[in-house]
Structure formats: structure tokens, C-alpha cells
């Protein structure tokens, strides 16, 4: 009962202070979210006798506004308990008088020791009773000074408390990524309405984020090595017979490629490539262009290395005018004609991205 009365008195005394302090707690830059919630809970427990804001309904808030009636009810209940306690003390005193009767005397000092202990023990209840009676007198003196708690202030306190306890102190911000890497620079500026000491603009260290997902298209430059399924030949006339000699087993191509793939979380992605290449050491110009198509393995995110393989398509010189190898050709050898035709082959290649690292 002492605790209940003390809590009711404190709630009336600190109501205005708590209303201001709750606001200060919400914007104090020196407190962690856990500390803000803990301190708010302690204050609200003093005001509402309840630590869970979800259990505070409007009826409970309205009830708290009748501080004088609440204390008056506690006073009556306290007086009832004190009167019961006084009756028990009187019973103990009666028993103490009764055991002083000589008829209870025994041989030896047993009854004397018991009487001494009883006389000592009765002092504690008597002192408690005096304290309780003083509390009643003090409460009677203070009761006229008690003012009703303000309903509007209590309603705002309840709302603020619920906001604090439900708040996870986080902010979601969406930003469109325009490259493989995203750099965020955060600057936190207090709002104008908050005049909390120590609340100043702060700049957080840059946050580097790797971007993944989405369909990627990148260009690269590299070297492909290709070979046709049928090895190209050089044709010539010897002893009036058309003969041939095999060309190189493979041809290096300086290749520009376009890669398309879906970027994953890691540094390895699978996709496809399409490229156009010029054979090195061949003076054929644009007629010697070769085309490449196949799967690719992309290593890295900003600076990329791409391994590719697949089909090669390019022009190869063949005998024209219906001639074939081994045919008789009695005319001047310089008149032997060849014509380019597209042939298929296969290739492997290595290339590097042209556009540099993503932003």
C-alpha cells in the first residue's frame, strides 16, 4: 500500500517533466535505441503503472486523471489495513500481559527467557504501527494539494510511448543503381524543430555496395582463336593439275564482342557472346571479317575478363568455275580463280571489358 500511494504521488508530481523528457529522449543523439526504449519504459511505468503500451486503453488513461480520487481510495484502503494491523498489535499486547501471570511460572528460567523475547518482539509491530499512522496523517495533509492529471498530456504520453516502443529506428530509402558498384554518402541533419544539445549534422563514412541482378550487356575487346571444320587451302597449278596446300590450323582474330548475361551475387556469371573479328596477318580487309557466337564465362564485376567459345562463321577461298582439286588445268596458272564462301568452324577466346569499372 505504501508503494501504491508513493507511485500515485510521483505520477502527479512528474507528469509535466515526463512529457518533456519523453520528447528529449526520442531525439537524443547520444542514446542508443535500446536505451531510449528502456528509459521511456521506466518513466511510463511511473505514470501509468503499466510497462506495455498496448495494454493502455482510453479508459485506463481517463482513470489516471482522477489523481485525488485515486489517492483518496488508497487512503481509505490504507486506513482499513492499518486498523486491522492495530487490532493485531493489541492482541499481541494482551497475550504479553497474560503471560506475565505468576501461574505460568515454571521451575527454572524457561518462562523468564520467553517473556524477555516476547517483550523485545512486540517493539517491531509497535514501531510499524506508528509509521503507518504517520503515513495516514501525512497523506491527509497532502491530499488537498493534489491536482488532477491533465487528460491531454496523458493522451500524448500514451501515443508517444507507443510510437517509441514500436519504432525500430530504421529508415528505408530506395535508390536506382546505375552500375556494378554503388557508393552511398549519408549526411544526417537534425530537423529544425529539435533543439537538443549535441544534435548536429553528421556525415557517415561512404558505404560501398556491390550491385547484382538484372540483365547486363557489356562490350569487350580481345583475341579469339578460330578453326574451320574444313581446313582452308591455297590452290595452285602444277604440271597442269590443280593442287592445294593446307593453311594454318587456326587463325587469331582481333575481336570486338558484346556479352549478355544476368549478374549474380558472386564474381562469376554465365551468359552469351556475339563478336566480330578481323584475322591478324590477313590483308583481306572487310571481306575477311569473321563472326562469333556462343556461351561465355564472365569473371569479375567492375573490371571483367570473359572466356568465350562457340561457333565461328567466316569466308574461305574455294575453287570457282566448276573446278575441283585434281582437275586438269591447261591454261595459264594465273588464270585459276577462287571465290570466297562462308564456312563454319569453332573458336575459343579471351577478352576484356572496354568501358571500365561500373559506378
User: How do residues 248-278 score in pLDDT, each as one tens digit?
Assistant: 888 899 999 999 988 877 788 899 999 999 9
> What confidence tens digit (pLDDT) does each residue in 301-352 have?
777 899 999 999 998 888 887 788 888 887 777 778 888 888 999 999 999 8
Residue 161's alpha-carbon distances to 8, 11, 37, 148, 339, in angstroms, are 19, 15, 9, 21, 88
Is-above-0.85 flag for pTM?
no
Higher-confidence position of 162 and 282:
162
Question: Average pLDDT, stretch 187-214?
Answer: 78
How many whole angstroms separate alpha carbon 102 and alpha carbon 112? 11
Measure the CA–CA gap between 68 and 12, rounded to whole angstroms. Answer: 9
Position 22 scores a pLDDT of 78
Residue 144 pLDDT: 72
Report how far residue 44's alpha carbon sits from residue 52's, in angstroms, rounded to the nearest whole number: 9
Which of 237, 241, 216, 148 shows the shortest CA–CA distance to 353?
216
Indicate the domain borders of the chain.
2-166, 181-210, 215-353
* Structural contact between residues 21 and 43, judged by C-beta atoms closer than 8 angstroms: yes
Number of residues that this document lists for the chain: 359
- Give the contacts of 352 (CB within 8 A, at least 6 positions apart): 220, 221, 222, 303, 304, 305, 306
* Mean pLDDT of the 191-213 span: 77
Report the greatest alpha carbon distance in the chain. Answer: 163
CA distance 270 to 287: 32
280 close to 269: Cβ distance less than 8 angstroms? no
CA–CA dist 49, 52 (Å, integer):
9
Cα distances (Å, whole numbers) of residue 292 to 11, 90, 251: 82, 110, 13
Measured between alpha carbons, how far is 252 from 318 in angstroms, rounded to an integer?
Answer: 21
Amino acid at each position: 500500500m505504501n508503494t501504491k500511494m508513493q507511485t500515485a504521488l510521483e505520477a502527479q508530481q512528474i507528469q509535466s517533466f515526463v512529457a518533456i523528457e519523453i520528447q528529449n529522449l526520442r531525439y537524443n543523439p547520444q542514446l542508443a535505441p535500446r536505451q531510449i526504449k528502456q528509459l521511456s519504459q521506466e518513466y511510463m511505468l511511473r505514470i501509468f503503472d503499466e510497462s506495455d503500451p498496448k495494454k493502455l486503453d482510453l479508459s485506463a488513461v481517463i482513470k489516471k486523471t482522477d489523481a485525488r480520487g485515486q489517492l483518496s481510495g488508497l487512503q481509505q484502503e490504507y486506513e482499513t489495513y492499518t486498523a486491522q494491523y492495530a487490532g493485531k498489535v493489541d492482541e499481541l499486547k494482551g497475550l504479553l500481559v497474560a503471560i506475565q501471570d505468576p501461574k505460568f511460572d515454571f521451575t527454572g528460567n524457561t518462562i523468564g527467557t520467553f517473556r524477555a523475547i516476547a517483550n523485545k518482539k512486540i517493539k517491531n509491530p509497535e514501531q510499524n504501527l506508528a509509521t503507518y499512522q504517520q503515513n495516514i496523517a501525512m497523506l491527509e495533509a497532502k491530499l488537498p494539494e493534489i491536482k488532477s492529471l491533465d487528460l491531454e498530456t496523458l493522451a500524448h504520453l500514451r501515443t508517444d510511448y507507443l510510437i517509441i516502443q514500436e519504432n525500430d529506428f530504421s529508415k528505408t530509402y530506395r535508390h536506382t543503381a546505375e552500375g556494378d558498384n554503388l557508393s552511398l554518402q549519408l549526411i544526417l541533419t537534425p530537423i529544425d524543430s529539435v533543439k537538443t544539445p549535441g544534435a548536429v549534422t553528421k556525415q557517415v563514412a561512404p558505404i560501398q555496395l556491390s550491385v547484382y541482378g538484372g540483365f547486363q550487356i557489356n562490350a569487350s575487346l580481345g583475341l579469339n582463336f578460330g578453326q574451320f571444320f574444313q581446313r582452308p587451302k591455297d590452290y595452285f597449278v602444277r604440271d597442269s593439275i590443280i593442287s592445294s596446300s593446307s593453311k594454318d590450323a587456326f587463325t587469331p582474330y582481333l575481336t570486338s564482342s558484346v556479352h549478355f548475361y544476368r549478374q549474380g551475387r558472386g564474381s562469376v556469371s554465365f551468359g552469351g557472346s556475339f563478336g566480330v573479328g578481323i584475322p591478324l596477318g590477313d590483308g583481306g580487309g572487310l571481306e575477311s571479317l569473321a563472326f562469333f557466337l556462343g556461351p561465355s564465362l564472365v569473371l569479375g564485376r567492375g573490371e571483367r575478363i570473359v572466356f568465350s567459345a562457340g561457333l565461328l562463321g567466316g569466308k574461305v577461298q574455294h575453287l570457282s568455275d566448276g573446278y575441283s582439286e585434281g582437275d586438269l588445268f591447261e591454261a595459264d596458272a594465273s588464270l585459276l580463280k577462287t571465290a570466297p564462301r562462308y564456312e563454319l568452324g569453332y573458336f575459343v577466346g579471351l577478352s576484356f571489358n572496354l568501358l571500365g569499372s561500373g559506378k
